[in-house]
Amino acid sequence: MKRRLYQGTDFRRAQNIDELRAVARRRVPNFCFEYVEGGSDDEVTLRRNRSVFEEIGFVPRTLVDVSARGQTVDLFGKPSAAPFLIGPTGFSGLLAKEGDLALARAAAAAGIPFVLSNASTLRLEEVAERAGGRVWMQLYLYRTRAFAAKLVERAKAAGLEALVVTTDSAIFGNREWDRRNYARPLKLNLRNTLDVALHPRWILDVLVPDGVPRFANLGDLLPPGRDSVRGAASAIAKELDPSLSWTDIRWLRDMWPGKLIVKGVMTAEDAALAAECGADGIVLSNHGGRQLDGAVSTMEVLPEVVSEVGGRLTVMLDGGFRRGSDIVKARALGADAVLLGRATTYGLAAGGEAGVAHAIDILKTEVDRVVGLLGCADLSQLDASFLRWPGHPMPPARNTGPGRGILSPVAGLATNSNQKREAQI
């Protein structure tokens, strides 16, 4: 019998993120799925974000007691129940009813942070109040700086923990496959219009009774009547600011008393500049392969960035994470946490809040299994000695000593399992 992945529509039967992706593809119209799925130009970076994980091999230890395992990590002085969080994904309200809230609630239930997209279809105050948990907010520094300042004040009043300022979209990426769904800007072509009609469950969930969702946090930025998901795209593109610089990060730092995270860093030099500007953390990101095509993956720059700013900044990254093993590899190279974009968005598109929860559970289960099979009782014991990456210099192991922080050959007891993970590799 030929092997094949699950072909049905019940998200609960998906055993991994790829199967959840297939369920999502069947549930939502093509133009929605393409917005989530596509990259820029020839999608070289999009593919590279995934292929890099196949280059990195594990080197497991054996005869280690892993009967009790843990994956809780420390993020800005607070525990997070897993080494990943949900990153900002725009247009979530087009995938499921109140999609932003569904993502936030699933994250809160799982004990991990959630980053609300700047382009959400629910007000940030509503998400903070109804979701609970740790809510962070993505911010674009548009040309209209007064709007950004007002959004910062709203986030402050709502008690949000962190701002995640996205810096890699000063110029909009060339997403050709997304544009091919439209006969002209904002007008679906005939093929996609007919395809929408073939998705009655999506229509009832998303469009009934209020029609196309509207951006809830961009009202002061957009022209009157242009705040719908369909009508705002061109107006937002005009607000992107090519003059964005580190001066703007310092300006934002002066206004914002909470944690400030710079997203879009891809070099050790820029990571150091973020630290100099007062950032608390960074997110290594190539925008999921949706901006500069041909860019390297975040995993390729992670070791040098951690070597430069580890211990000074919280170092996170995104880009292509689909398996718990991918997340474990990033942790072993020094990352504090991973931001998930498409992985949890597939869950949202496949089954709303319950689908997101299923995606999180899949990844938490995989992380737990991989850590145990590596011969680790806790993520704090991971370092680069558990990896082989041909052609790439590996950083030195953080844990040293007779048992390399894993097993004491004298006492036969695991060591360092409760010791805080060293930030610098």
Contact 341, 290 (CB under 8 A): no
Contact 44, 294 (CB under 8 A): yes
What is the rounded distance in angstroms from the CA atom of residue 99 to the CA atom of residue 97? 5
- Give one DSSP letter per residue of 183-232, joined into a string: EETTEE-HHHHHHHHT-HHHIIIIITTT-S-B-SS-TTTSPTT--BTTTS
| Secondary structure element (H or E) that encloses residue 263, with its range | strand 259-265
- Please determine, for residue 364, whether its predicted confidence score (pLDDT) is greater than 80: yes
Task: Give the pLDDT score at 397.
Answer: 65
pLDDT digits (tens, 9 = 90+) for 93-109: 999 999 999 999 999 99
- Please determine, for residue 185, whether its predicted confidence score (pLDDT) is greater than 90: no
The whole-chain average pLDDT of the chain stands at 89
Task: Give the pLDDT score at 184.
Answer: 83
What is the rounded distance in angstroms from the CA atom of residue 102 to the CA atom of residue 120? 12
What is the rounded distance in angstroms from the CA atom of residue 228 to the CA atom of residue 218? 10
At residue 187 the predicted structure's pLDDT band, cuts being 50, 70 and 90, is confident
Average pLDDT over residues 2-30: 95
At residue 228 the predicted structure's pLDDT band, cuts being 50, 70 and 90, is low
**Sequence ranges of the domains in the chain:** 11-175+238-374
CATH class of 11-175+238-374: alpha beta
As to burial, measured by CB atoms within 10 angstroms (0-12 exposed, 13-18 middle, 19+ buried), residue 55 is: middle
Its pTM stands at 0.91
pLDDT digits (tens, 9 = 90+) for 27-60: 999 999 999 999 999 999 999 999 999 999 999 9
- Please determine, for residue 409, whether its predicted confidence score (pLDDT) is greater than 70: no
Task: Give the pLDDT score at 423.
Answer: 32
Task: Give the pLDDT score at 233.
Answer: 62
Which residues are catalytic, by number? 287
Q: Does residue 186 or residue 102 have the better pLDDT?
A: 102
